[in-house]
Amino acid sequence: MPNNDALRLYKTAHIDKALDDPNTAHLTISHNKVISSQSLPGLNVIPKEIKDGVDIKIVLEEGVVIKNPVHMCFGMLKQEGIQRIILDIDIKPKASIFIIAHCIFPNAVKVQHLMNGKIKVGEHASYTYLEKHIHADSGGVEVVPKARVMLSDYARFKTDFELLQGRVGKIEIDYETICLAHSVMEMTSKINGSGDDIIKIKESGLLEGEGARGVLTSRVALRQNARAEIFNKLVATAPFTRGHVDCKEIVQDKAIASAIPIVEVRDPKAHITHEAAIGSVDSKQLQTLMSRGLSEEDAVELIIQGLLS
C-alpha cells in the first residue's frame, strides 16, 4: 500500500488511477527512499537505497514485451535536498518496454536532481523513455540528467524529455547514444523556460553501424531573462547511415538562445542533414491567429503550446 508521499506524487503526475492496474509496473522514489514498487514477469527492477538517492538496476529479459507503460516516479516533496538516481538498464534482445519517468518537485526551493544512466538495448529490442518534469513555479530545481546509451544491431531507442509545467530552474542534459548496424535512435527535448532559467542541452549520436539512423530534435521556448544553449551533434562513420538534427527555439523579451548543430560525416555513403531556427514567433502564424480575433499575447501562447506539444 503506497504511503502519503507516494499518493501525493501520483496525484501530481495524474497517474494514481493507472497504478491501480495490476498489469502496470511501477517504481516510486521519494528523495532517497523506495516507497512503492510493482514488477511484472520478465521485468526485474532492483532498487538500492544510497545516501542521497537510489541506485536502480532494471533488466528486461529476452523476448519479453511489456504492453503497458512502466511508471517511475522520481520525486521530492521537500523544499531542499539532493536526489541522485543511478540507472543501469539492460534491455535484452527482442524485448520491448516503454518507461515514463515522472520527475516531480512541486515545492522545490533548492533541490538538485542528478541522474546518471547507463542503458544497453539488445538486438532487435525496443526501449522508449519519456521523462516528464513537474516543477515548482519558483524554479528552485537543478536538473542534471546524463545518459550513455548503446544500441545493438536493429535496436530502437526513443527518448523524450519534457519540462513544460512549472519553472525550469537550471537544467543540463547530456545524452550520448552509440548506434550499431540498422539501429534507430530518436532523442527529443521540449522545454519551456522563463524567469532566469538556464537550459543547456547536449545530445550526441554516433552512427557507427551500417544503416543506422538517428534524429536529434530540440524545441525550446524562452521568455523574460531565460537562456538556452543547445549543442546537438551527429557523427556518421558507416555507410548508409542517415541522420537529422532539428532545433527550433522561440525567443521573447530579453531571453537569449544559441544553437550549435554539428554534423560530421566520415563515410561517403552516409547522409546527415540539419536545420536550426531561432527567433521570435513567425509573423504569418501570429497574424493569422490575430486575424481570427486572438490578442497578440494569446496567439503567441498558442503557437508556443503547439511547438512544445
Partner 1 sequence: MSVLSLKNISLTLSDKKILHNINLEFLPGKIHALVGPNGAGKSSLAFTIMGLEGYRKFEGDIIFKGESLKDKSIDQRANLGITLAWQEPARYEGLTISSFLEAAYSPEKGFKPEEALLKSGLQPDLYLKRAVDKTLSGGERKKIELASILAMMPQVVLLDEPDSGIDVESLDRIFDAIKILKKRGSTVILITHSLKVLEHAEDAFLLCCGHLMEKGSSHSMCRYFKGKCMPCDHQNVPEAADAK
Listed ranges 105-113, 152-160, 236-244, 301-309: which one lies at the site for partner 1 (CB under 8 A): 301-309
Q: Which one among 159, 248, 251, 272 touches partner 1, defined by CB under 8 A? A: 248
Contact between 296 and partner 1 (CB under 8 A)?
A: yes
Q: Which is nearer to partner 1, 219 or 227 (CB)?
A: 219
Contact between 291 and partner 1 (CB under 8 A)?
A: yes
Contact between 306 and partner 1 (CB under 8 A)?
A: yes
CA distance 3 to 51: 21
Q: Which is nearer to partner 1, 15 or 289 (CB)?
A: 289
Q: Shortest Cβ distance from residue 191 to partner 1 (Å)? A: 14
Q: Which is nearer to partner 1, 23 or 291 (CB)?
A: 291
Contact between 279 and partner 1 (CB under 8 A)?
A: no
Q: Which one among 22, 41, 268, 293 touches partner 1, defined by CB under 8 A? A: 293
Q: Which of 160, 91, 100 is nearest to 126 (CA)?
A: 91
Contact between 253 and partner 1 (CB under 8 A)?
A: no
Contact between 17 and partner 1 (CB under 8 A)?
A: no
Q: Shortest Cβ distance from residue 308 to partner 1 (Å)? A: 7
Contact between 109 and partner 1 (CB under 8 A)?
A: no
Classified as helix, coil or strand, 12 is: helix
CB atoms under 10 Å from CB of 309, counted, come to 9
Contact between 258 and partner 1 (CB under 8 A)?
A: no
Pairing of strands 33-38, 26-30: antiparallel
**Strands in the chain per DSSP E:** 26-30, 33-38, 43-50, 53-60, 70-75, 80-91, 96-105, 110-121, 126-135, 141-151, 156-165, 170-179, 184-193, 198-207, 213-222, 227-236, 242-251, 256-265, 271-279
Contact between 7 and partner 1 (CB under 8 A)?
A: no
CA distance 136 to 67: 32
Instruction: Find all residues with CB under 8 Å of 131, minimum gap 6, and list them.
Output: 101, 103, 145, 159, 160, 161, 162
By CB under 8 A, what part of segment 215-244 binds partner 1?
Answer: 219
Q: Grid coordinates in use for 171?
A: 537544467
Residue numbers of the site for partner 1 (CB under 8 A)? 219, 248, 282-285, 287-296, 298-299, 302-303, 305-309
